[in-house]
Amino acid sequence: MGSGRLVVLGLMVLLLLGALTMAMVQGFERTSTTEYCISCHEIRSRLDELEQSVHAVDWDGEPMECRSCHVPPSFGPKLIAVKLLAVKDLFVHYSVDVERLDRRQMQLDARRIVADENCLECHEDLYRNTAGEEISELGRLGHEAYLGKNGTTRRNCAGCHPNIAHLPEFDRRYPFNAEFAARLFLEGEDE
């Protein structure tokens, strides 16, 4: 094989790799949109919960997207892992009676894949709440453990802060979820 043919073959391989990379990036982008996520009816109700939560809008008043919490902000191993888990979710969507899914287990699984980087993009100061006030002593100790300043913790942000964007029925009975549950209940009555 002559050197000219090797160059042509090399260019063809590079073009093919470039095309595959572009297709993968476009696929990742398309499957990270809220419209794509809610195309499954079992996820549509999660959007209703989000719209009634304290995370309905971002700091600029723009509606939060599914990707704001569930898709890592940069390309890398975490993003690939999330997309591989999404393939499993698609399989489940098309092969299992979704009415029989265990939402409690799904919630625990979902919390594990919420990237802390996503939370920290908005919540930069872990010692103040969104109103700018100092957080509680318990919150301060928890955040210090998260930062490795006062012990350590293996929990991620969503592990300590459940039900901040979604509130399954089985968690609506807890007093600390009362305000969120009331908004969901009132919203459901209007329909």
Tens digits of per-residue pLDDT, 109-148? 777 778 888 899 888 899 988 778 899 999 999 999 999 9
Give the 3-state secondary structure of residue 134.
strand
The residue extents of the domains of the chain are 19-60+70-190
Is the pTM higher than 0.75? no
Q: What is the pLDDT of residues 26-35, one digit of tens each?
A: 888 888 888 8
Tell me, what DSSP letter sits at residue 163? S
CB-neighbour burial class of residue 114 (10 A; exposed 0-12, middle 13-18, buried 19+): buried
8 A C-beta contact, residue 52 and residue 183: yes
Query: Cα–Cα–Cα angle for 161, 55, 178, nearest 5°?
Result: 65
Closest CA to 84 of 24, 42, 39: 24
pLDDT value, residue 191: 41
Q: Which residues of 135-159 are buried (b: 16+ CB within 10 A; e: fewer)?
A: eeeebeebbbbbeeeeeeeeebbbe
